[in-house]
Amino acid sequence: MDKLKVVHSAAAGPQNRQDQFDRQLAALREHLERRLAELFPNPASSELSAAISHGLLSPGKRLRPLITMLACKQCGGDPLEAIDAACAVEMVHAASLIVDDLPCMDNATLRRNGETTHVAFGEGVSILASITLVNEAFGVMARMQTADQRQRIAAIDKLAKAIGVNGLAGGQERDIARSGIGSGGSIKEIEQSHLEKTGALFAAAAGIGAVVAGARTVEIDAMENFGAALGLAYQTFDDVIDAQCSENQTGKNANQDENRTTVVTMLGQEQANKSAGQWLSDAVKEAEKVDYGAGSPLTELAKLIELKFSKLTENR
């Protein structure tokens, strides 16, 4: 596999740096899409395979696997050596979206500008697709050829913890408990839900990338702290988007949180945006603790996320 070559210029202006970073992300996404398709090559073989392909390969931002690859780069590694780990992270994310959208959870009908998996294939097949994706994610990680046994075990452990009672599953359970305005408790409790439901997988994505790069413990910790803070910022921004934006803008159902207590319902949109901005600042501080002379692609990613959310909500 060819190394991904990215040109950095100390003399480049802000717009040139942004253009370079945009090209880097586009190249990484191309590699990710190809590898994901290779890992699930025959969606027509059964309805289950088609549901898996629908949930995994529908056009998405691929943010979490990009974090894995960029964290690997920031810690001195080749981002393409983390591509299978990144695909495993995306499989878990896709599985979580399938579950989130189920009638017993958010009862969503629109995801990534298309039907949710249970609408297209039914609830039973969708649940099986989610289970299969999680199972295959661990298989992909166990078979990584670009990591030694110690690294594979560490990466698998981080992914497992991100899914469990202190991660995606626990966060979703807290989310269910917040159904109904006034039932969500304090801001701290809402942020804990965000940390588990979103921040845990962001943190694992960054930590796994650092592990594959052979980073030291202190660097892995910084990457995980970056991911956790970025996840809190992202979920807070997402709550604002849910309250402000249409389905045409987001590609998913709007106002999904109207019967839940959120940062927005408790603080208002302006203060929620400020809170997200502070979490984003915290993420950047953690990212910039790691410097292998390749710039700070994770800082650039955080700034890009802020810019995209700002454009969605400007003049509203």
Residue 2 confidence (pLDDT): 44
In a domain, 6, yes or no: no
User: Which CATH number do you get for residue 158?
Assistant: 1.10.600.10
Q: Which two tokens stand for residue 280?
A: 């984003």
Q: Identify the DSSP state of 115.
A: E
Q: Which two tokens stand for residue 41?
A: 């090559």
Residue 284 confidence (pLDDT): 96
In a domain, 10, yes or no: no
pLDDT tens digits for 93-132?
999 999 999 999 989 999 887 899 999 999 999 999 999 9
Q: How many domains, in total, are found in the chain?
A: 1
In a domain, 104, yes or no: yes
Q: Are 39 and 143 in contact (CB under 8 A)?
A: no
In a domain, 8, yes or no: no
Count Cβ atoms below 10 Å from residue 156 Cβ, excluding itself.
19
Q: Tokens 């609408």 — which residue?
A: 119
- Please tell me the distance from the alpha carbon of residue 149 to that of residue 163, in angstroms, as a whole number: 21
Q: Are 239 and 272 in contact (CB under 8 A)?
A: yes
- Please tell me the distance from the alpha carbon of residue 37 to that of residue 157, in angstroms, as a whole number: 25
Q: Are 285 and 51 in contact (CB under 8 A)?
A: no
**Domain span at 24:** 16-313
pLDDT in tens, the chain (316 residues): 444 443 344 445 667 777 889 999 999 999 999 999 999 877 778 999 999 999 999 999 999 999 999 999 999 999 999 999 999 999 999 999 999 999 999 899 998 878 999 999 999 999 999 999 999 999 999 999 999 999 999 999 999 999 999 999 998 888 787 665 445 568 888 888 889 999 999 999 999 999 999 999 999 999 999 999 999 999 998 888 876 655 565 555 655 555 567 788 888 888 888 889 999 999 999 999 998 887 799 999 999 998 888 777 665 4
In a domain, 2, yes or no: no
DSSP states along 209-273: HHHHTT--HHHHHHHHHHHHHHHHHHHHHHHHHHHH--HHHHSS-S-TTTTB--HHHHH-HHHHH
Q: What angle do CA 162, 88, 168 make, to 5 degrees?
A: 25
Q: What angle do CA 263, 266, 270 make, to 5 degrees?
A: 70
In a domain, 20, yes or no: yes
- Please tell me the distance from the alpha carbon of residue 274 to that of residue 58, in angstroms, as a whole number: 32
Residue 186 confidence (pLDDT): 80
Q: Tokens 């166990």 — which residue?
A: 142
In a domain, 3, yes or no: no
In a domain, 188, yes or no: yes
